[in-house]
Structure 1
Amino acid sequence: MSYLNNDTCPKYRISKFQDNLLERFQTIRSRTETVCKPLPIEDYVVQPQDFVSPPKWHLGHTTWFFETMILLPYFKGYKVFNANYNYIFNSYYETVGVRVIRTDRGNLSRPSVEDIYLYRKYINEAMLQFFQKEMSKDVSVLFELGLQHEQQHQELLMTDIKYILGNNPLFPPYIENKNSEIAPAKTSKWISVKEGVYEIGFKGDGFCFDNELNRHKVYLSAYQIASELVTNQEYLAFINDGGYEKFRNWHAEGWDWIQNQKAKAPMYWYFIEKEWHNYTLNGLQPIDWNAPVTHINFYEAFAFASWAKKRLPTEAEWEVANDQFNWGKRWEWTQSAYLPYPGFTTADDATGEYNGKFMVNQMVLRGASVVTAEHHSRPTYRNFFQTNLQWQFTGIRLAQ
């Protein structure tokens, strides 16, 4: 047994297994607040688009998850911090009750930011008390899901902060004097993979999401996959060759998106005084042409690959070859629709809504990005987004 010494509570006796969970809980919860630390209060409430959530909402929602999924059902005598918060901070869980619609999250001037931080403190202290008792396997799995869920929101939080500030007419930096988005380019080469039957999907004893199960066999024809991501310089050649003006490389739906959005370049690219700039977390900067292109949607990734006389890899091709190239700087579009693996099942409780109900009209991304929490991703991780979305740190790896 070991002991926790915390200034906010007595010394609690916990198992070695829970000791590790507790340390991770404190580290992960603290990181969410660290992400928000550079923001003035005014930035916490802004919601410029329906797909963006205000930072204040992320802080509350990740806290609500632990309260609703763990403390309420499993901690006898727990008292809810505020009964209205289930309505405010429930994201999409139909089985948990009614909720504020996503487009109205920016209208929540109340509760205040101060109230949300008090809420986080209240739940953190309740969770520390919860650690006094041994967890069952089911509860520990649910607790791990809560940690992974908060790490997912840390990435979304950073992405949303960039969108909020990047659409401010002054282009204010999130941080000064720290280049957090640069990834030096290397000369790309083709990695060859032989025809054969391969296995994909999660294996092992660690955590995975339900959409990574079950491990199964896939047949792949021989293919090649690029060792490096497409750079800004390579994408500029596509733009200069009329990439956004010629229909031939686009899906019909992608071409409609161009016409409706008047798109001419990736999100955050601006042509100023005859020079390309892009908005970064450090503010508006001249584009680093050696860095991987980012903030492009599936339509753009597909069109670039078509223009280059190549294609996007399938998610199976990506997973089979992942140990032969570096990944993690950009979420990488694949040409695979987000669908269930053979034998996929969902839990009967609210956590069953986590992934399965989104398996329609979305494409799979693989890897991680510069704003993904450390140790959060893995080769079998299946991210997914709608084809038109650009605001995530997305990139392109080619295949042929």
Structure 2
Amino acid sequence: MTFEKYKQVRDYTIQLCSHLETEDFVVQASAHVSPTKWHLAHTTWFFETFVLKKYLTEYKEFHPDFSYFFNSYYNAVGERTVRDQRGLMTRPSVEDVFDYRDYIDEQMQLLMGRSLNEEIEQTIVLGLNHEQQHQELLITDLKYNLWLNPLYPAVLNIREYSAQKSRGWQKINEGLYSIGFEGNGFCYDNEQGRHQVFLEEFSISTNLVTNGEYLEFIKEGGYQNPVFWLSDGWAWVTENQLSLPLYWKEIEGKYKCYTLDGLKELDLNAPITHVSFYEAAAYVEWAGYRLPNEAEWEVAAEKLNWGDRWEWTNSAYLPYPRYQKAAGAIGEYNGKFMINQMVLRGGSVATSAGHSRKTYRNFFHPQFRWQFTGIRPCQK
């Protein structure tokens, strides 16, 4: 691991913020998203807490309160700011946070100029992958934080989808298959425990569900008919009075959607995005299909094009056989979240390239839809 590689990842986080106004850094529109300023600081806190304080003997803390301000969920590290109050922290300032990043980068350069053992190297690699995860969250959180602004600000010109071919089906034969990470590269602990699964024959769509296809579900009363919905999903729809995917707006009889490049006409050929697991499950029920489980998705992945959207599976997020949680605070990274969440596979237009691998196990609660999530139907 070179400092140049470290800096390349860190600099991309700053690049994502290049078109923001100071006020954009602070806003937090919901408890499940975070302000941009917080992402910049928390990723820095990770290196300070798990690398510099542990391995650089002469290290001097940047600020005694920053560990409290920018800890996310690591109970073993100590107390932290309440999650839904991150947007209330006007102090420390955005300038202070950039100074914090510069200071930590200087200290990391000092450390990385020395001979590092395998433990330190692995922790730095984990920290960089952690930052890449937060780069994706920064993008999706920023979109959620800004879409309530009636100006519909354009802040990032990213490709939100690629062209799809006409729908087809990929058949997967019945058999015994191995799933889980193998190889010498980096992976998260939740990908480990490679094991065999038996799958019956099935077919999976070569394409994702499009906006146009999902619009048919809407027009046929999909959001008003409880027959298509799981019980929890129907309760969620009715409680929140939902009738459209996130970021869609019906204006004078036409559908538009908010993108990071502003409000756009709805592209009917683009893959549907920002739908919850509940919406994905309701759509495939209406269409006469089903969602794949995560083993089916992984086995089929080599024969599919994927990466535009995180794809909901019908699998609960649970540990693989022989899963081993890391010791100490690092062990809180994945293991303690293996409850009440659903697995997503693939990657999205906001995902770092190295994280779009077939064994990567993303996970969210079934009602969340602020990520670039989509639907790939499956059938017997």
Structure-1 separation of matches of 2:57 and 2:252: 64
Alignment partner for residue 266 of structure 1, among 245, 260, 267?
245
Structure-1 separation of matches of 2:342 and 2:121: 31
> SS of 2:76's equivalent?
helix
1:303 aligns with 2:291: no
Contact 1:340 1:356 in 2 (8 A): yes
Structure-2 separation of matches of 1:179 and 1:55: 17
Structure-1 separation of matches of 2:8 and 2:237: 42
Q: Which residue in 2 is equivalent to 1:119?
A: 100
- Amino acid across the alignment from 1:85: F
Q: Which residue in 2 is equivalent to 1:63?
A: 44
Q: Which residue in 2 is equivalent to 1:391?
A: 370
Post-superposition Cα deviations, 1:156-207, rounded to whole Å, max 9, x if no partner, equal 00001101111112211123xx462132221121000000000000000000
Q: Which residue in 2 is equivalent to 1:332?
A: 311
Q: Give the total of aligned pairs.
A: 379
Q: Which residue in 2 is equivalent to 1:283?
A: 262
Post-superposition Cα deviations, 1:43-64, rounded to whole Å, max 9, x if no partner, equal 1000110001000000000000
Within 5 Å, give how 1:1-400 maps onto structure 2.
18-19=1-2, 22-175=3-156, 178=157, 180-400=159-379
Post-superposition Cα deviations, 1:221-267, rounded to whole Å, max 9, x if no partner, equal 00001111110001001101110010111001100011111110100
Post-superposition Cα deviations, 1:294-317, rounded to whole Å, max 9, x if no partner, equal 000000000001001000000000
Structure-2 separation of matches of 1:207 and 1:24: 15
Structure-2 separation of matches of 1:127 and 1:63: 10
Unpaired runs of at least 5, structure 1: 1-17
- Amino acid across the alignment from 1:104: Q
TM-score (norm 1): 0.94
TM-score (norm 2): 0.99
Contact 1:185 1:231 in 2 (8 A): no
Give me the CA root mean square deviation.
0.8
Q: Taking every aligned residue pair, what percent have the same amino acid on both sides? A: 52
- Amino acid across the alignment from 2:276: N
Contact 1:198 1:218 in 2 (8 A): yes
Structure-2 separation of matches of 1:136 and 1:297: 43
Runs of 4+ more than 4 Å apart: none
Q: Which residue in 2 is equivalent to 1:6?
A: none
Structure-1 separation of matches of 2:356 and 2:260: 22
- Amino acid across the alignment from 2:72: S
- Amino acid across the alignment from 1:79: K
Post-superposition Cα deviations, 1:66-119, rounded to whole Å, max 9, x if no partner, equal 000000011111000001000000000000000001011001000000000000
> SS of 1:375's equivalent?
helix
Structure-2 separation of matches of 1:390 and 1:374: 21
